[in-house]
Amino acid sequence: MTAHVVLVDALNLIRRIYAVQERPFLLNNELSENTKQQVLFNTQKACSTALSNILSTLEPTHALAVFDSEKPCWRYELFPDYKKGRKKMPIHLFERLPDIQDEFLAMGVDSLDPDEDEADDVIATLAIKVALRNQRTTIISTDKCFLSLLNDNVSVYDYFHRRFLNPQYVFEKFNVKTSQLVDLWTLTGDNTNKIPGVLGIGQVTASALINQYGSIQSILSADDLKSSVKAKIEEHTDAIKLSHQLLSLKYDIPLGFNLKDIRLPTLQPV
């Protein structure tokens, strides 16, 4: 049997659902205690419904919900301003996560809470391992970082818009190939995660450079850049190298489990 592994970027799913449930009740950015409990109840039920819909729509053989470590990941060590200013998860939602995980488990989907790794790297590692076995993976997330993994065996599914994000979507949105996305974001920066780019180079210029030279490495070594672009690149060479490292997903995170451990219980072993 060919495996089809669904990997849920759990906090991406849960926090977006929570935001939808919370929005109608916000008053002066505060929730009463009773309202908090109602929002949490609605969120938990909506998360279960979402997972059920994902399983019935995609019909995977294996599935796993991947969470972020509570500890800061390696990116914070390299760049303390990583994700600086991002709104933190409300403590009352954090305290409800075990209940959400229990409901996921009741549907046969276990959760992974890494000791020190970001969900992005864990998902990337598992997706690549499965792809190398010529098996399918679908990543459930709206995080654009996973678009760089797209290939014949790795898909990204946006649950909220009920659509697959494919290479055509990437080219229409970013004007580069999926394999060139990390290089593009290295030049433009990634404001969501507060990763700096090259000041003065936006997406239009960045995509034109990448389409002309092929990669960030070729741009750095090019001797025919426009003087204005060359000056910007040279001024930010160290930042470029750091940003590229921060934006690159890891594929070598120790997982500590086998594919059979996340097989959905109603199906036969692969």
CATH number at residue 223: 1.10.150.20
- Structure token digits, residue 38: 């109602």
Q: What pLDDT shows up at residue 188? A: 96
Q: Are residues 69 and 155 in the same domain?
A: yes
77 with 182, same domain? no
Q: Are residues 156 and 27 in the same domain?
A: yes
Measured distance CA(75)–CA(242) in Å, rounded: 10
Query: Which residues on neighbouring strands pair with residue 163, listed in sequence order?
Result: 158
* Same domain for 191 and 125: no
Task: Measure the CA–CA gap between 155 and 178, rounded to whole angstroms.
Answer: 12
Residues 38 and 81 in one domain: yes
Residue 268 lies in a domain: no
Residue 198 domain-assigned (yes or no): yes
Structural domain includes residue 79:
yes
pLDDT for res 1: 65
Whether the CB-CB separation of 252 and 125 falls below 8 Å is answered with: yes
Q: Are residues 232 and 257 in the same domain?
A: no
Classify residue 90 by its DSSP letter: P
Q: What is the pLDDT of residue 119?
A: 97
Count of CB atoms within 10 A of residue 142's CB?
Answer: 16
Q: How many independent structural domains does the chain possess? A: 2
Residue 267 forms part of a structural domain? no
Asked if residue 136 and residue 66 are part of one domain, the reply reads yes
Pair (11, 88) in one structural domain: yes
Residues 234 and 254 in one domain: no
Say whether both 149 and 182 belong to one domain. no
Q: Is residue 11 part of a domain?
A: yes
CATH of the domain at 52: 3.40.50.1010
Is 270 within the bounds of a domain?
Answer: no
Instruction: For the chain of 270 residues, list the mean pLDDT of each consecutive stretch of 10.
Output: 93 97 78 88 97 97 96 94 91 96 97 94 97 96 97 97 96 96 96 92 96 95 92 92 96 91 71
Could you tell me if residue 74 is inside a domain?
A: yes
CA dist 125 to 7, 10, 148, 198, 240, Å?
11, 16, 13, 29, 24
Single out the residue of 206, 192, 144 nearest to residue 169, CA to CA: 144
- CA dihedral for 106, 68, 59, 265, sign (positive or negative): negative
State whether 87 and 30 are in the same domain: yes
Q: Please calculate the CA angle 92-94-100 and round it to the nearest 5 degrees.
A: 105
Per the CB < 8 A criterion, the answer to whether 270 and 61 are in contact is: yes
Look at residue 229 in the predicted model and tell me its pLDDT: 93
Q: Compute the half-sphere exposure of residue 231: CA atoms within 13 Å on the CB side of its CA.
A: 4
Classify strands 163-165 and 154-158 as parallel, antiparallel or unpaired: antiparallel
161 and 84 in one domain?
yes
Residue range(s) defining the domain that contains residue 14: 4-169+249-262
Residue 269 lies in a domain: no
